[in-house]
Structure 1
Amino acid sequence: MEKLTIISHPVLQHKLTLLRKKETKSCEFRRLLNEISGLLAYESTKELALIDVDIQTPLESMQGQEVKQAPIIVSIMRAGNGMLDGLLNMLPFASAGHIGIYRDKFIQNTVEYYFRLPKEVAGKEIILADPLLATGDTALACIDRLKQYNVGKITMICILVSQQGVDKLHHFHPDVNIIAIGKERELNEDGHLLPGLGDAGDRLYKTID
């Protein structure tokens, strides 16, 4: 069974439409991606384990609940960094890691240029963030690396995905959940999502030629 959840909430779809628009400026694009990521934090953490804790309200003692083990948010650089603040705002108890991997079209393979995780990641849940899952090559390389560290459950959150990328990821890692707010029609010859929203990194950081 495909572990893909597409969230069709009206507020998310409204923000996605604004994100897609060509005329949306970088500052607005960053704000929208931040807001969307914060909302996606709810869906990506709904199965976190809780523990009972004794607390004191201003009026009386009671038993509350807290997250048993904080997840680790891992950004796939550079576009994933645009999601990081939104996720950390909603999950301030989480720690964060970064993976820099890109697909080199000349050597037809992925290249890792940066990798940094918090200490003691074994067994801990991972929220892997990247706005777009297109060919799936970069996400696949990141998950391969994460599993070398014996991490726990991995949930990947995206804005948009392709069926091709989902199929490739689940072929090699059927245990990984994917959460997104849209599945695109197809990929073009350059591996870009259509209709898509363009290059998320370029739009985030205003590096479009």
Structure 2
Amino acid sequence: MRISIVDHPLAQARLTLMRDERSENAAFRAAASDLGTMLIYEASRDLPLEHFPTQTPVAVADGARLKQPPIIVPIIRAGLSMIEPALSMIPDAQVGFIGMARNEETHEPVPYLEALPEDLSGQPVFIVDPMLATGGSLLHSIQLLVDRGATDITAVCMVSAQPGVDALANSGLPVKLVTAVIDPGLDDNSYIVPGLGDAGDRMYGPRNIDL
């Protein structure tokens, strides 16, 4: 599995703001938006282009556009925060959705929503989720994409834990990973250490419904 760690100074500065427990919801969301944009930029590096002549005010230049924009698939709810950064970089991308909750007793993912095209054959897919902890939610979601024919999948995660990265690498699924950092481990509640806490809660406030 190919792993790209975006260690650009500006990316690391935004990550630090997200890690800081003093950052309130608004500051956290702003830093996450900036970091998400940087990660999508890197994830798009190998997307194929098509070329065409473009008339400038002076002469004809070689123009370029994405040959096939990816479909952006956030894992709800924290992944919703990465839609706007992704669409700001790739405005003609389509968006699908996968809903996944965490059982707080077993720490296992509980799926509750799947809104995806029936056939993803030949379609680049960016699956976005701020946190890769155990890898359970991401692996389940990637399998849904593979079951629909996807073979070109990039997981874009702001913070990853080594156990989740290992699970992804050992899964045999066709996926690449783009992340800002790989943290060493998880605590007893399967939260990333040092991590940044619950990304969904820090973006939107504590959950007020049970899923």
* Corresponding position of 1:16: 15
Paired residue for 1:98? 97
1:112-139 Cα shifts (integer Å, max 9, x gaps): 1111124653211011100110000000
Matched, 1:127 2:126: yes
SS in 2 for 1:150: coil
Other-structure match for 2:56 = 57
Who is 2:45 aligned against? 46
**CA displacement, residues 11-31 of structure 1 (integer Å, 9 cap, x when unaligned):** 111111111111101011111
Shift of 1:170: 1.6
Mean Cα displacement is larger for which, 154-163 or 52-61? 52-61
Offset from partner CA, 1:4-61 (integer Å, 9 cap, x none) = 2212111111111111111101011111111111111111010011111122222333
The residue identity in structure 2 corresponding to 1:128 is I
Q: Distance in 2 between matches of 1:54 and 1:26?
A: 45
Query: C-alpha distance in 2, partners of 1:145/1:173?
Result: 14
Which residues of structure 2 form unaligned runs of 5+?
none
Question: Which moves more between the two structures, 76-85 or 97-106?
Answer: 97-106
Conservation of the 8 A alpha-carbon contact between 1:30 and 1:204: yes
- After the TM superposition, which of the residue ranges 112-121 and 132-141 deviates more from structure 2? 112-121
Shift of 1:105: 4.5
Number of corresponding residues: 208
Cα displacement (A) at 1:78: 0.3
CA distance in 1, matches of 2:108, 2:197: 22
The TM-score with structure 2 as length reference comes to 0.92
Deviation at 1:106, TM superposition (A): 4.7
User: Cα–Cα, structure 1 residues 207 and 125, in superposed 2: closer, same or farther, change >3 Å?
Assistant: same
Compared CA separation, residues 197 and 208, structure 1 to 2 (3 A): farther
TM-score, L = length of structure 1? 0.93
Structure 1 residue runs of 5 or longer lacking an equivalent are: none
Pairwise CA RMSD of aligned residues? 1.8
- Contact 1:3–1:177 (CA under 8 A) maintained in structure 2: yes
- Report the AA paired with residue 87 of structure 1: A
How far apart, CA to CA, are the structure 1 residues paired with 2:144 and 2:49?
28
SS state of the match for residue 164, structure 2? helix
